[in-house]
Amino acid sequence: MFKTIRQRFRDMGTIKALCFEAEKLGNADGQKEPGAEHFVLSALALPDGTARKAFLRVHADPDSFRAAIAKQYEDALQNVGIALPRGAEISGEATPIPTSKGPYKTQPSAQALMQTLTREIMKKEQKADSTAPLLSAHVLLAATSAQYSVAARAFRAMGIDPEKLAKAANAEIVAYRACL
């Protein structure tokens, strides 16, 4: 019982860090509210390292995900005949927005990711083991459940099969828990 409560407090800390970093990344990207892709970037920076290891398991460089977000925007614009000047990026450009002082808000894609994460993935995990920790690989699992989001298109831009990434994320979750 005590272990379960202690773990829930730790998970709250993980969610706080995840949301705070996602907002920072979204704002730095010139967007008022973070999207699911910023939550994936934020997950890749979480200290448990399972999301990064899941990327490596499918032979993808986790540090390339930010560039992949920009690439999928460029590809989408090219489809309508707009080519950005060489070196220019629609994503990651230096047009930062100050962090909001009001209530925490996210884009709908991030709301969907958080709902999948908390209401489906973690609910199932904690039903099997009430002391199961929330890991960055769980965030990846939630992100791979979307087919048409910016995050999903960025995975495809990196040549990542979302199903294989989900399997890799699950494998990393099992490996992490085996070490506890």
What residue ranges bind another protein (CB under 8 A)?
Answer: 30-32, 72-73, 75-77, 79-82, 90-91, 93, 95-98, 148, 150, 153
Cβ neighbourhood burial of 173 (10 Å; 0-12, 13-18, 19+): buried
Alpha helices in 29-149 (DSSP H): 36-44, 50-57, 65-78, 108-115, 122-128, 136-144
What does the block give as tokens for 5? 């409560």
Minimum separation from the CB atom of position 16 to another protein (A): 23
Contact by Cβ (8 Å): 139, 45: no
Minimum separation from the CB atom of position 142 to another protein (A): 20
User: Tokens 């699911």 — which residue?
Assistant: 36
Q: What is the C-alpha separation between 33 and 19, in angstroms, rounded?
A: 11
Indicate the DSSP class of residue 100: P
Minimum separation from the CB atom of position 114 to another protein (A): 20
The nearer residue to another protein, 14 or 31, going by C-beta atoms, is 31
User: Tokens 């925007």 — which residue?
Assistant: 73
Minimum separation from the CB atom of position 3 to another protein (A): 43
Q: What is the C-alpha separation between 164 and 154, in angstroms, rounded?
A: 15
Minimum separation from the CB atom of position 135 to another protein (A): 29
